[in-house]
Structure 1
């Protein structure tokens, strides 16, 4: 038996229940991971609320964790019992003491990276990897705009942009959060509660605007993001924290300068084991050598049974950086 979080209906955080479950034997391509730390991601709230429906209820939750291999399926050759591992694209159910994970989404975890760091950052780190190096490959000295820069993805992006040598204009919702983004490597910051984002971007770029905007906020920043783009610029919409962007009139892209828009996700970029290993190796090497720091505030480390409280906290936007669950 093991403990896990599951939900039997869609709704707010109160639908999350802490229950007992049997540990299923691994199928031929699966590995049982004893989770030592579990990642909490904003997408988990979309799943819980029904914005991203699941195949059936009741359902587990979460796709990210780090721990130790305790059992392997017959076809597994690259992992063995006792290995330190991490994952961020598993089937739902990572909010659990034990989780059955397909070997194709599992990576070995370097000794220099802790379970807590890995669980707090793998999904976010791989997201930053594809955003900044593949969706739109940033160049040294290039100025770009990144919303919600004091979140888990944002703080990694601040640091990765510094590795590249690009200049991030970082938005956040308070003076504290903009200060933290700058501390982590943002070139300039904008407090979107007290400053006009478009006016500030125009001032910081001498009226030139930017080639790319990375936007995980969604509905509330859609038009603002478009107005910050140069002619034929790229709007990268990779999240819906304020609600999804819907009923888009494509003519607006023409009106604002023949703009491009993409709605990427990790699954579109990590389609096989080789791509996953390349991305994870690059990210975890930055963490191991200290170029990217993953720091988890004590108040953002929650016991597994407190998953509902964790969801409430991140949805209030009371967090800075990453949050985790400890089984």
Structure 2
């Protein structure tokens, strides 16, 4: 169901072939034709994520549509058309989401850097009053991932001491705020004094400058030599060895990214020295069940609405090939602080 006739084509930013950053270009593509179980959204903001580089280079470890295609995996905007499948329209969980044409939603799926995106209704979540589409796009994957991982991969408790690597990044700032809100102490790592001050303003009690300080030594000093209760690590190869030195006995290491490269093979018996628990987790597993997914995203948006989770936007990049290229360059170079967005409309 759609109120107005749609154009036949749309602007997009993406790739005609896999490649490096110069493969990104401005595209003109057909407007998606939704399947009967899908919702069509007019995009206002697209979120930039590390995974975008994998989609660009063709190295993501799961199926993805071939080029030509838009890049981007998360967006927010307004509903243009709803599903037509009667089974969907009568589904209890579909009706619980309160979708209507013109309603604000966040959506995840392939092709977010385009004027329109279509995805199954299970990938779409209503944005409540009091939360903008800007914050909806910014908090969708990173806010959701941080909340899930700190609840399921390791359930942060009051009084815990928790280490968050790259604490001034988009995920890091979400972790810092949400962990601190639970009454735990956040110790973070970052690269510059400027980033450290931003992280402290978002809940980090201590921030270690990893380019200038001995991270292991400082963490042990801050924890009376015992180490931290949990570590959230999206870095991977470069931090794994130090994680084993900084985690306390019976602590938990949560890996969720490998921006420095994948972990090399290692002997699992190394965890036995401290009875360490290690998990490499993805929050997207918790989006598979429609009821569970809705409850998680409602929780994220409540935290945004009540100010517990403040989305710091590093920049809104223009909806052009140059804009998307610049966003990926800034992310890879480590010059960004917080979330990066593409302003589509």
Which structure 1 segments of 5+ residues have no match? none
* Partner residue in 2 for 1:87: 107
The answer to whether 1:108 aligns with 2:117 is: no
Q: What does 1:190-269 correspond to in 2, within 5 Å?
A: 190-254=208-272, 256-269=273-286
Runs of 4+, deviation exceeding 6 Å: none
Tell me the equivalent position of 1:61: 71
User: 2-side partners of 1:6 and 1:281: how far apart?
Assistant: 30
- Which has the larger displacement, 169-178 or 57-66? 57-66
RMSD: 1.5
- Deviation of the 1:81 alpha carbon: 1.1
- Whether the 8 Å contact between 1:31 and 1:69 is mirrored in structure 2 is yes
Give the deviation of 1:275 after TM superposition. Answer: 1.3
Report the counterpart of residue 17 of structure 1 in structure 2.
Answer: 25
Change (3 A) 1:292 1:268: same
2:92 corresponds to: none
TM-score normalised to structure 1 length: 0.94
Q: What CA deviation, in whole Å up to 9, does each residue of 1:200-228 have, x standing for no partner? A: 11100101111211000111111111211
Moved more, 238-247 or 182-191: 238-247
Distance 1:286 1:81 in 2: 25
Kindly indicate whether the alpha-carbon contact (under 8 Å) linking 2:32 and 2:116 is maintained by their aligned counterparts in 1: no
> CA offset at residue 10 of structure 1?
3.0
The offset of 1:56, in angstroms, is: 4.6
Check whether the contact 1:7–1:57 (CA below 8 A) recurs between aligned residues. no
* 2:76/2:137 contact within 8 Å kept: yes
- The number of aligned residues is 322
Q: Check whether the contact 1:13–1:309 (CA below 8 A) recurs between aligned residues.
A: no
